[in-house]
Structure 1
């Protein structure tokens, strides 16, 4: 059995595998133990993180409660309630997470009770404020009961967290000890396996080098012209014995082939010439593919039709030198082939042409005229013109057409085919990118920009206003008594009113203003380069125009529409992300609501 080189390798492999399996089993067990220890460390980290989160949320609730009681702003009340609820939920989760540790479990329960009491006090203060008892709520906040309770929470939380951190540290030490033991085991096992492999390979190399030396000697003799040289030594293994026999057979055939060398020399020269021609063709195709790769990469990165056209004008004349032409892309909404780019002096019809006017698109394959009268002429070309139309299709759908002046020779067909595939793929990708971009920034019902786009744009405009010092204003508005339309006429009526208002806003505001649907019946307009005072007159015109809108649905008139508007201008003291500016406009909007709706209010203070 060991006479075979394969058998020796298998024996060596079996020994190595057995050694590796043994060490792997030990390492797996060690890894499992370390993994469990790491889980406990992570568990402690989660307990600490959630406890700190609960404390932070409780403080946020306390700040929100005070803000509401002293400022009467409803958003503070919402913040307080959300913070109290979240703090309550998180500390209860901490109690559940410490169930495996009785001392910590007891501390967590005590802390949870204190937080629940404080959260209840905060909710009670907010509720008193909503009932209008702000003085009672302020007196309650000024009392010592809440402060003492928060001090107790702080003390209990510090004790709880200190104990949990100590437990986490002891667990981390256990993990490190396990890892050090595993590292030592891995190093020792690796050394043993390396020793086995080295011994095995030394034995294998000895069995390989001797027959290789014999074969090198014979090959050297053969190279020096001794065509009768053969391998006669014992090879020491079955594989090298077969190899020596094969070599001897090859040498016999080579000796016979040399005798026929003169008669076959012409055939070899012809084959070499054919190989050179094929090599040149492959080289040219490689250059074309490389050029098309660069073109495809740029087309995939193009964001506008102008960029795409520029890439086409630069690269297509290099791929198809000496051939003028144009690229037409299919416009789905108009069902026309519209010119994207032309090169080589080719003239294009700016209005485009219908798909049915091109025989290449109707047949789904190339259509060309090599001489006048040789085939049917596409109606979008001249009757006496020599041309070539290459359809651009994807999944059976018309993407566009390549229109080329003159004749496309057979050796150029490869270039044209690959070029058409690349351009079709780029046009599909370009169309998809544009569609996806519109979907991500547009509200599907009104066609206005959505809230996400508004927030991004507002941040950019604030940065621009900061750099240049130009004014920036924001309008917050909503439809008065919008619920009435849904209640009386149904949600279809509400959608119709939103669409009508959106259309009127787009008509009345400047093209440079960014009109967005903020949410529900609320809209936001970003007006760069305009102060709130100047913008007020324009918004009054918009308000009047909206009041004249008459919406009909299924033959019924939905009634008059009115809107309330709040305007604010950005100042350097506001947040750079736009939250302060939106809030200032929102405060003006609420003032307009309180004063009777259907009016425009400017927040002069910006607060």
Structure 2
């Protein structure tokens, strides 16, 4: 079969040769580009080393100048300036030494430079500075140990400059290789691709024109279109397969039209039967997401269940102890059963799957079901947890079997919605409560502070803020352990909740710091309350593991609106500054921000 082989060979050449050419160009270009990148990095590194060497030389000169100034003045500040210059020299030397880690010769020169500097410092500078001001006029500085460093610095510079020149030459060479590879390779690849593609296109066009015309007729609906078959190459075989496909398609289309008519009838009935159920389940999910608590959710579930299962039913949920189920809602005309029953009274909960009982099945009724009707119990399960059970009543066993899938979807939607509702409530509490102390956390303070400030502004009332810090808390932790530290924080948190008013907001700000918002409380009142709190905390104590009583004291800083600040951020900052003064002035005390323009406030 020469024709198929010829067409196949041209196809292979048309794909393979351009890909090979482009691959070679790409390899050469990438290799040159990678070499250029490496060369650029080496040039940058060498330039950095040269710059560091220059800074090192200048720093050595600064050290010498500082030493000469110290010899002239014998001043402590000049001596300190020399010490700082010496430390900076060593820091720069370490940086240069690390950057020439790949060159042992350069490292040896740097070590010699450092040894000369250290020798000069230890044998000349330090003895001279220790005898400062005791020998009359200063002796001229001895710089002989440093003279060898000039030659070392020149050698370092020459080596790095030679290396930089070599790296620059290599980078230019890599760039030229990439340039010529792209400049010559791409036109050659394009020319080769055009030539092969042109020959292949001419060959294919001769065989595809009849096939295209026939395909267009089929697309327009004329399934009787056929392609003339001449020859024995790939296009001829494709034409033959097209004719077979058109014949089969003609038969399939006629069969599909009959099936489509039947399917449309079935789909119409199915849509009518399921649209209402889907709408009700979607409505159930939407309303359950908008519920604030479970009582609202029960009302939503009841309304949806009445529409989906008019035969009646009930929903019972497990208690927190998981040993009892309580009927939370009922609907329909089913006879009322027990309001409380155990999990062992329901076969669905015991089996972990839906349980149906009617005359057509040889299965027992659940003990909590007293209706005598065909009954289906479906466990409420979501995220691996069992919440309760849905009990549904039907007039016939056939109606029960038809409603099984719907009942399963209904139970899944109810269970998942209840789990999400409970999770939202739990997360809300966790997001605003500190887990250790049970107080409000910093997030709740940030949410509430602005609202409380706006409220007192509308009422034209003051607002005070107390910032409390446990004295020596880190020392208690280090001495008695973190368990006692946690006990101290919980004990203080309990005391704060009992001490302040219900409308006051007590928060754990972070670590051992607490913040208390006092609405409608001015600065003198807040200072008096803070002092009373401080004295009351002195009576608190916690016993350590060694039966040792650990005393508890606090420092308090306070500020008030509008006396000290106009925004929550400023008020916090003022209270924090006052707390800092309280701790700075000895701890176990109260400090309040002074009122601007006032003579002062009592301690």
- Which of 587, 600, 603 aligns to 2:593? It is 603
- Match of 2:574? 581
Question: Which residue in 1 is equivalent to 2:239?
Answer: 244
Aligned to 1:145: none
Specify the alignment match of 2:144 in structure 1: none
Report the alpha carbon displacement of residue 414 of structure 1 after superposing the two structures with TM.
3.9
SS at match of 2:569: coil
Deviation at 1:365, TM superposition (A): 1.4
The answer as to whether partners of 1:498 and 1:521 remain within 8 angstroms in 2 is: yes
Please give the residue correspondences for 1:360-375 in structure 2 after superposition, counting only pairs within 5 Å: 360-368=348-356, 375=364
Q: Counterpart of 1:169?
A: none
Deviation at 1:12, TM superposition (A): 1.9
* 1:566 is the counterpart of 2:561: no
Deviation for aligned residue 1:404: 5.2
The residue number in structure 2 matching 1:24 is 26
* Aligned partners of 2:473 and 2:512 also within 8 Å: yes
Counterpart CA distance in 2 for 1:375 and 1:40 is: 85
CA-CA distance at 1:393 after TM superposition: 2.5
Q: Structure 1: how far apart are the matches of 2:350 and 2:426? A: 26
2:300 pairs with 1:313: yes
Deviation at 1:439, TM superposition (A): 5.6
Determine if contact 1:450/1:516 at 8 Å carries over to the other structure: yes
Correspondence for 1:445 = 436
Distance in 2 (alpha carbons) for counterparts of 1:366 and 1:320: 21
- 8 Å contact 1:551–1:559 — kept in the other structure? yes
Distance 1:368 1:454, change over 3 A: same
Residues of 2 paired with 1:347 and 1:472: CA distance?
59
Within 5 A, what are the aligned runs for 1:280-299? 281=270
Q: Residue 386 of structure 2 aligns with which residue?
A: 398
Offset of 1:486 from its aligned partner? 5.8
Q: What is residue 213 of structure 1 aligned with on the other side?
A: 209
Q: 1:470 to 1:218 in 2, by over 3 A?
A: same
Kept in 2: contact 1:330–1:336 (CA 8 A):
yes
How much does 1:502 deviate? 1.6
Separation in structure 1 between the aligned mates of residue 177 and residue 299 of structure 2, nearest angstrom: 64
> What SS class does the counterpart of residue 390 from structure 1 fall into?
strand
Q: Which runs of 5+ in 1 are unaligned?
A: 48-83, 107-174
Structure 2 CA distance, aligned partners of 1:367 and 1:95? 78
Deviates more, 1:20-29 or 1:438-447: 438-447
- The answer on 1:475 being equivalent to 2:474 is no
SS in 2 for 1:3: helix
CA contact (8 A) 2:496 2:506 kept: yes
Distance 1:304 1:94 in 2: 67
Q: How does 1:187-226 map to 2 (within 5 A)?
A: 200-215=196-211
For 1:552 and 1:219, the matched residues in 2 are separated by 94
| Pairwise CA RMSD | 6.4
Q: Tell me, yes or no, if structure 1 residue 3 matches structure 2 residue 11.
A: no
The answer as to whether partners of 1:366 and 1:390 remain within 8 angstroms in 2 is yes
Which secondary structure state, in structure 1, belongs to the residue aligned with residue 583 of structure 2? helix
Per the TM alignment, residue 319 of structure 1 is displaced from its structure 2 partner at its CA by 12
TM-aligned CA deviation for residue 290 of structure 1: 9.3
Task: Decide whether aligned partners of structure 1 residues 396 and 489 sit closer, same or farther in structure 2, where only a CA change above 3 A counts.
Answer: same
CA gap 1:486/1:269 in 2 versus in 1, 3 angstroms: closer
**What's 1:535 paired with?**
526
Distance (whole Å) between structure 2 residues aligned to residue 583 and residue 297 of structure 1? 46
Distance 2:550 2:18 in 1: 87
Say whether the 8 Å CA contact 2:291–2:297 is kept in structure 1: no
Q: Please name the residue that 1:525 is paired with.
A: 516
Matches of 2:359 and 2:480 in 1, distance apart?
Answer: 68
Q: Name the structure 2 match of 1:140.
A: none
CA contact under 8 A between 1:218 and 1:231: conserved in structure 2? no
User: Residues 231 and 576 from structure 1, CA distance in 2 versus in 1: closer, same or farther, beyond 3 angstroms?
Assistant: same
Q: Aligned with 1:568: secondary structure?
A: strand
Classify 1:442/1:295 alpha carbon distance in 2 versus 1 (closer, same or farther; 3 Å): same
Structure-2 change in CA distance of 1:8 and 1:428 (3 Å): farther
| 1:170 aligned residue | none
What secondary structure does 2:525 align onto?
helix
The counterpart of 1:516, out of the listed 507, 518, 542, is 507
TM-score of the pair, normalised by structure 1: 0.56
Aligned to 1:277: 266
Cα distance, 1:586 vs. partner? 1.1
CA 1:19–1:498: 2 relative to 1, 3 Å: same
CA contact (8 A) 1:514 1:527 kept: yes
In the TM superposition, residue 398 of structure 1 has moved relative to its aligned partner by 1.6
Structure-2 separation of matches of 1:466 and 1:480:
32
TM-aligned CA distance change 1:94 to 1:250, over 3 Å: same
Matches within 5 A, 1:118-197: none
Shift, 1:527, TM fit = 3.8
CA distance 1:545–1:316, change in 2 (3 Å): farther
